[in-house]
Amino acid sequence: MYLGPRDHRSVSRIRILRRAIRPLAVVILAVTAVTAISAQQQTKNVILITLDGARTQEIFGGLDEEIFRSTNKSFQKTATYKRFSAATAKERREKLMPFFWKTLLVSYGSIAGDRELNSSVQTTNKLFFSYPGYSEMLTGQAHDDVIKSNSHPQNPYPSVLDFLQKKLKLDKDQVADFSSWDAFERISTNSPGKFVINAGYMAYDSTDKEIAGLSRAQFETLPAWNGARFDYYTFRFALAHMRKFHPRVIHIGFDETDDWAHEKNYERLLQTLNMTDGFLKELWELVQTDPTYKGRTSFIITTDHGRGKTIADWHDHGADVAEAQNIWMAFFSPDVKLRGEWKDAETIYLNQVPATLCRYLNLDYSDQNPKAGKPIEQLFAE
């Protein structure tokens, strides 16, 4: 910390000291106070990961036989069924997302949103589709009267990424949003250009030959839908960026969980959840071995909206789809002791994400938006 004038050229030392003494006393007090609060606070970096429209049913229950059957009468003969089926919900979800359930949630964090255990996570927006969901998640507040279309132009409201960049005085590469869906260029900030956003089909410049090759390949490996590239590219670019620039604030937005559901391709949906679990494992291994991140990085992993629960509407979501307000949220942090599944808990909301990310860092998001959801206190209760 810089406490006084650095340049002694034209001012005598005594004058400098006299001027410096009063502010110095204040600074010492302030430093002591901050140390007291942050004595146990380890978090220096925050990572937000989103799995677009991933249903609570698959997250908590794994493969859903009824839905699989509705998409393929011979579903039991598929390799996907043989791989992910099991007798109980616990076994099925552990087959589908083994790293998430058997390592992360056992040793490092907790998950809310399993309604069978009386834990519920909901959006406060009433629209239950992506732009309103991500805007609520990133700005801390739903604006259903303003943000009511996925083609909404630039977000008029600043995000938690904007806030943390300012508050932590981070340069352009130290705040990053890597997302498969191109709309994040519009959603993640109200003032584009200040931090890295690599979203949709967008080149990622790299001197690494493999990454440069992937950057070219994304334009020539086209999925069935428009506006979003395959998650594999998003993940590889995010990881390359983390290795090189060590951003302290990151959002990684996966999209295929939503896209395959809209395609009513249940096999691909299951395979995608399993692939994403592998991404989480690889990311976790980087975080555990890189000195910037090791023991100093807190996560929220969540989704922007739920979907229907019946064979008629599991693939869909929106204001007219019953149950699409129900989501899930997972937390991994060296500063949080909770492990496993939340039970008999008060409902938490998507608009609490920014304040909670800030709370991990001992910052107060209400400085930017007093109307935003509050930090999720259950995480920090002793």
Nearest partner of 355 among 300, 302, 305, judged by Cα: 300
Residue 35-64 contact track with Zn ion, rule CB under 5 A, x = bound: ------------------x-----------
Nearest residue to Zn ion, using CB?
Answer: 258
Site string for Zn ion, 246-275 (x = CB under 5 A): ------------x-----------------
**From CA 372, how far away is CA 287, in angstroms rounded?**
29
Q: Strands 175-179 and 196-199, how do they pair?
A: parallel
- Tell which residue, 304, 286, 301, 282, has the closest CA to residue 351: 304
* Structure-token match 């629960």, residue found: 309
- Closest to Zn ion by CB, 20 or 311: 311
Query: Are 158 and 190 spatial neighbours (Cβ–Cβ below 8 Å)?
Result: yes
Of 241 and 317, which has the nearer Cβ to Zn ion?
A: 317
Nearer to Zn ion, 240 or 270 (CB): 270
Q: Which residues of 193-224 are buried (b: 16+ CB within 10 A; e: fewer)?
A: ebbbbbbbebebebeeeebeebbeebeeeebe
Quick one: 53 or 247, whose CB is closer to Zn ion? 53
Our CB check for Zn ion shows the closer of 131 and 331 to be 131
State the minimum distance, in angstroms, from the CB of residue 83 to Zn ion. Answer: 25
Crossing angle, helix 353-360 and helix 160-167, to 10 degrees? Answer: 20
- Whether residue 375 contacts residue 336, with contact meaning beta carbons closer than 8 Å, is answered with no
Q: Residue 262 Cβ, how far from Zn ion at the closest point, in Å? A: 6
241 or 268: CB nearest Zn ion: 268
Q: How far is the CB of 60 from Zn ion (least distance, A)?
A: 20
Q: Which of 380, 360, 372 is nearest to 164 (CA)?
A: 360
Q: Please state the closest distance from residue 317 (CB atom) to Zn ion, in A.
A: 6
Smallest distance from Zn ion to CB 269, Å: 12
3 state DSSP class of 207: coil
Site for Zn ion (CB under 5 A): how many residues?
A: 2
- CB of residue 279 to Zn ion, shortest distance in Å: 20
Residues in contact with 98: Cβ distance below 8 Å, sequence separation at least 6, in sequence order:
277
> Is the Cβ of residue 53 or residue 373 nearer to Zn ion in the bound state?
53
- Cβ atoms 165, 150 nearer than 8 A: no
Which residues within the stretch 100-159 sit at the binding site for Zn ion (CB under 5 A)?
Answer: none
Q: Which helix (H) or strand (E) holds 323?
A: none
Pairwise CA distance, residues 107 & 302, whole Å: 19
Minimal distance, residue 155 CB to Zn ion, in Å? 18
Do 158 and 139 touch, CB atoms closer than 8 A?
Answer: yes
For residues 34 and 322, which CB has a smaller minimum distance to Zn ion in the complex?
322
Q: Least distance (Å) from Zn ion to the CB of residue 259?
A: 8
Task: Please report, as ranges, the residues that interact with Zn ion according to CB under 5 A.
Answer: 53, 258
